[in-house]
Amino acid sequence: DAGVIQSPRHEVTEMGQEVTLRCKPISGHNSLFWYRQTMMRGLELLIYFNNNVPIDDSGMPEDRFSAKMPNASFSTLKIQPSEPRDSAVYFCASGRARNTGELFFGEGSRLTVL
């Protein structure tokens, strides 16, 4: 079975550029979560969706961040414009809404903003 698939695995960009991170959840999972991980702050929840609908985006740091889930098999996290402080590993995770203690994480997208 394919797990959660994220792309790109690594992204290096310059400040001010637009960054788009992509995620394909596990088939049959109806919840999708975007996390950001840094050494200083650990794993932080940015936003999550149930059945493609955003439920809680209170973790999105500011208006430069946006996320969409146009269908059950695809989600994007966009940062525009990017800043050096956005440098982190961004994880997508999926699960079943009734049991979101068990999340399945992708391998992450490592973002470096110069």
14-53 footprint of another protein as x/- string (CB under 8 A): -----------------x----------xx-x--x-x---
| Among 25, 17, 30, 33, CA closest to 111 | 17
Per-residue binder mask for another protein (CB under 8 A), 48-77, x = binder:
x-x----xx---------------------
**Computed from CA positions of residues 56, 2, 105, 67, in that sequence, does the dihedral angle turn out positive or negative?**
negative
- Report in angstroms the alpha-carbon separations of 54 from 32, 48, 77: 9, 6, 12
Interface positions with another protein (CB under 8 A): 4, 31, 42-43, 45, 48, 50, 55-56, 91, 93, 97, 100-108
